[in-house]
Amino acid sequence: MKKTSRIYVAGHTGLVGSALIRALRARSFTNLITRTHKALDLTQQGAVERFFKKERPEYVFVAAAKVGGIHANNTYPAEFIQQNLAIQTHVLDMAYKYGVKKLLLLASSCIYPKRCRQPMKEDQLFTGLMEPTNEPYGVAKLAGIKMCEAYNRQYGTQFVPVIPANAYGPNDHFGENGHVLAALVAKFHEAKSKNKKKVTLWGTGKPKREFFFVDDLADACLFLMERYREIGVINFGPGVETSIAQLAKRIQKVVGWKGDIEFDTTRPDGNPRRLLDSSRIRALGWSAKVPLEDGLRITYDWYTRTQVR
């Protein structure tokens, strides 16, 4: 990408999209194209075509998606599959039709089979059933990966599906429908504010996740856009696992709440483990820089400055 290349970040107000904008601006890219959901509904084919016809982006990052944690996936399965399929279908098709040079489609580590060897390698996709609570979202993302492969094979496009670890950081969704880390930040802050003695969390606390600070994630996306010469799917993450119970203790410490944590084992856990094999991107020279403790402090500081009234 040149500094003046026309770069479209789909989903620029969200967690990953906003980090991509920060990373691009920090590197002096000057021709960034964005649209809010109100200005451009990516689930509407006609609107997406009019946008691509007018703006003619050269590079595209597809960070727009319907996302959420276990509660949201359980509650809104139809929205998760329909909206994500629509977004991907329309953006990828118009990127082909209007000559985009290269596109990165962000997927998720939850699309791997539930019973999967750890760490999870790219060749394990499509080898087993997903965790049921993730299935509607996961099926949509797997379809996006196959769509990238099909367009690359038939039309010679450079559509690269990428699989990051669990992202967190500024501009996350802090509430019960959000991902686990952001939801815990909000829950512990509320407990501190209201002087609660106890907080109850879903599941056993035993599942392990790989938490990926979103500015590191954005850095990896730019690295792949500029240096990854292949078009096959690729994993990336920090390579460190943390259990939900360990995460809760770390967030409790950052927030400064002194109460007790209990787990409601009648609630679902989700996948038992979800650690990516990121050896391919590390072999190219990229590695994560922000440890979890630092990322949690940055995230909580942003949350208290911008989300708490």
Task: Name the percent of the chain lying above pLDDT 90.
Answer: 88
Task: Give the span between the Cα atoms of 201 and 260, in whole angstroms.
Answer: 11
The CATH code of the domain that includes 146 is 3.40.50.720
Task: State yes or no: pLDDT of 153 exceeds 90.
Answer: yes
* Residue owning tokens 């590191």: 216
301 within some domain: no
Rounded to 5 degrees, φ, ψ at 303 are -60, -45
CB contact at 8 A, 248 and 184: yes
pLDDT at 121: 98
Residue 119: cis peptide before it, omega within 30 degrees of 0? yes
Domain boundaries, position 124: 7-169+211-240+274-290
Does 41 show up as a binding residue in the annotation? no
What domain count does the chain have? 1
**Is residue 192 assigned to a domain?**
no
Q: 102-106 and 159-164 as β-strands: parallel, antiparallel, unpaired?
A: parallel
* Catalytic residue of the set 8, 59, 137, 228: 137
Separation CA 37–CA 137 (nearest Å): 19
Helices and strands counted in the chain (H then E) = 10, 13
Q: Is 302 annotated as belonging to a binding site?
A: no
Catalytic annotation present for 137: yes
Task: Please provide residue 128's backbone torsions phi and psi, each rounded to the nearest 5 degrees.
Answer: -175, 180
Instruction: For residue 12, say whether it is annotated as part of any ligand binding site.
Output: yes
- Smallest CA-to-CA distance from 169 within 36, 276, 294 is with 294
13 is in an annotated binding site: yes
The arithmetic mean of pLDDT across residues 84-101, rounded, is: 98
| pLDDT band with cut points at 50, 70 and 90 for residue 178 | confident
Q: How far is CA 125 from CA 120, 222, 276, 286, in A?
A: 9, 24, 12, 23
Residue 279 lies in a domain: yes
Is 107 a known ligand-binding residue? yes
Judge whether 282 lies within some domain. Answer: yes
> Does 193 carry a binding-site annotation?
no
Contact indicator for 201, 264 with CB cutoff of 8 Å = yes
User: What sign does the dihedral 267-270-271-273 (CA atoms) show?
Assistant: negative
**How do strand 242-243 and strand 208-209 relate by DSSP bridges?**
antiparallel
As to burial, measured by CB atoms within 10 angstroms (0-12 exposed, 13-18 middle, 19+ buried), residue 262 is: exposed
Looking at residue 238, its pLDDT comes to 97
Q: How confident is the model at residue 69 (pLDDT cuts 50, 70, 90)?
A: confident
- Stretch 278-287: mean pLDDT: 97
Q: Which helix (H) or strand (E) holds 105?
A: strand 102-106
Structure tokens at 161: 């599906």
**196 a known binding residue?**
no
Q: What is the mean pLDDT of residues 255-276?
A: 92
C-alpha distances (whole Å) from 82 to each of 13, 140, 143 are 21, 8, 12
Residue 112 maps to a domain: yes
Would residue 198 count as lying in a domain? no
Give the pLDDT band (50/70/90) at residue 102. Answer: very high
Q: Annotation-wise, does 28 bind a ligand?
A: no
**Given this model, what pLDDT does residue 259 score?**
96
Residue 269 annotated as part of some ligand binding site:
yes
What is the dihedral angle through the alpha carbons of 172, 291, 145, 67, rounded to the nearest 10 degrees?
-20
Is 270 labelled as part of a ligand binding site?
A: no
Residue 150, in any domain of the structure = yes
CB 160 within 8 A of CB 234: yes
Contacts of 123 (CB under 8 A, 6+ apart): none
Q: Quick check: is 74 in a domain?
A: yes
Q: Is the pLDDT of residue 233 over 90?
A: yes
